[in-house]
Amino acid sequence: MILNVISAEYRGGFTIFLSFNNGESFLVDLKETIFNDHRKIFEPLRNLEYFRNFHIRLNTIVWENEADFAPEFLLQQGKMMARRHSLNA
């Protein structure tokens, strides 16, 4: 099955709640990724006003400048974030 993002909701800061077509949903924090990746395409995403204006296209979240993340990467980030929170609980 090809993994798709089917819904995305901005949750504040650099976090987005994502639902995938495999039935899983996770909160994903992209701050580290955006600020540690020095490719020019991610520079506009460091502005919160810009960051929060994404949409779903091509089965993932996309910004106006065509920046996007693979659904597999987003799912992995969500799972890692969920594990960290369960260990700290």
Give me the residue spans of the domains in the chain: 5-88
Homologous superfamily of the 5-88 domain (CATH): NE0471-like N-terminal domain (3.30.2020.10)
More confident residue, 88 or 82: 82
Confidence of residue 83 (pLDDT cuts 50, 70, 90): confident
For 44-72, how does the pLDDT look when each residue is reduced to its tens digit (9 = 90+)? 999 999 999 999 999 999 999 999 999 99
Edge-first strand listing for the sheet containing 15-20? 5-12, 15-20, 25-29
The C-alpha atoms of residue 63 and residue 1 are separated, in whole angstroms, by 25
Q: Average model confidence (pLDDT) for the chain?
A: 95
Burial 46-64 (b: 16+ CB within 10 A, else e): eeeeebeebeeeebbbbbe
Closest CA to 36 of 54, 20, 14: 14
Residue 89 has pLDDT above 70, yes or no: no
Report phi then psi at 54, rounded to 5. -100, 170
pTM of the model: 0.91
